[in-house]
Amino acid sequence: RRSNIKPANTLQVDYRSMAHTARSKDEKREHFDSPEELDRKVAMLADWVKHSKHMIAFTGAGISTSAGIPDFRSGMDTCLDTGPGVWELRAKKKERDAKKHSVTDKMKAVPTPTHMMLVKLCQEGILKCLVSQNCDGLHRKSGIPTTALLELHGNTNIEMCMKCKKKYLRDYSLKNIRPRSHLTGAVCDDTKCGGKLRKNIVNFGESLPEAILDSGYEHAEKADLCLAMGSSLTVTPAAEIPENAGSSGRLVVVNLQTTPLDDIAKLRIFAKCDDVSTLLMKKLGLTIPPFKLRRKLILSATPTSKSKVCNTTSVLAEGADMEGHPFSFMKEVMSMFQGALNNCNGTWLTSQFACAASIISML
């Protein structure tokens, strides 16, 4: 269900003006529930989770701060190790203090306990859909099924072909060929296509993908429980998803700062996301799985020529995530048995194993 006053396909805040939307002192103030209050609230949340029929989650930058990725709106005196938010620093015209604050490169960051809690809830069939405003790629890296994930702002680790629409996961930082352009300068891995590749992200001020947004609304309509974590819930139309869910079901907001949706929330928890996640799973009797990066190495052989003297076969080595989506994690492929390539009987099989050995040594 979409609001009558907020267009569904556009964001209300322009990227260039974000630094001038600094929040008031009261809005930036961080609040903390007492240990007793936190335990009581999480116990209530656990009961709701157990009895939910269609639970969804909505996540923002706050769930990635413990991974070393700064958020956007934390104040100058925040308790977070990552320090002030990006927009707060920009509004104050200040730089982040590298000696005081701990920040991790997005490509090296690993999913937090909150990310992995959501994976477990999905594996248990409890969490039906995860809607995220984050584009840091940690949800995809955590291993949550793509069928259950809606990345509203895209993913900085994905390139998409503008011609065939194929998507490629990358293990390196993607660069724009010019400011405000999504083109990376690369072309589609499919030689038959050759289309231009672009970063699969949505910047502030740009339209959100209609299909993804509509799916989020549909899940909000079905939801009897929506767990919103680490989001200021101020950017629309994304924030309409938990708002809509809260109008017909239970909305639970976990954030250190107050949000515009606090008044409609059935439960308001003031604590760090990882603390809530850890306590919630304990009360549910579930274990947060450790993060393990899993990738596939796919080898395929194709005969290229056949003669009385020799048969030749080309071996293709491809990287993929566990769902089979293309993922680049190999810099080069070298055959360890080049001399054996002159033998004609079953040579392609030997070179296939050699290729695998050489690739695996480079992971």
Name the residue among 260, 254, 215, 218 with its Cα closest to residue 239.
Answer: 260
Percent helix, percent strand, percent coil in the chain, to nearest 5: 30, 20, 50
SS3 letters across 222-235: HCCEEEEECCCCCC
Q: What token pair was written down for 116?
A: 């992995």
Q: Are 62 and 255 in contact (CB under 8 A)?
A: yes
Q: What SS3 state is found at 122? A: helix
Active-site position among 54, 115, 139, 153: 153
Q: Angle at the Cα of 256 (from 253 to 262), degrees rounded to 5?
A: 40
**DSSP string across 122-141:** HHTT-EEEEEE---SSHHHH
> Is 153 noted as a catalytic residue in this protein?
yes
Q: What token pair was written down for 109?
A: 């960051």
Q: How far apart are CA 354 and CA 72, in angstroms?
A: 48
**DSSP string across 26-41:** HHH------HHHHHHH
Q: Are 211 and 235 in contact (CB under 8 A)?
A: no
Q: Are 307 and 275 in contact (CB under 8 A)?
A: no
Residue whose pair of structure tokens reads 């909150």 in the numeric block? 114
**DSSP string across 98-110:** TTTS----TTT--
Residues annotated catalytic, as ranges: 153
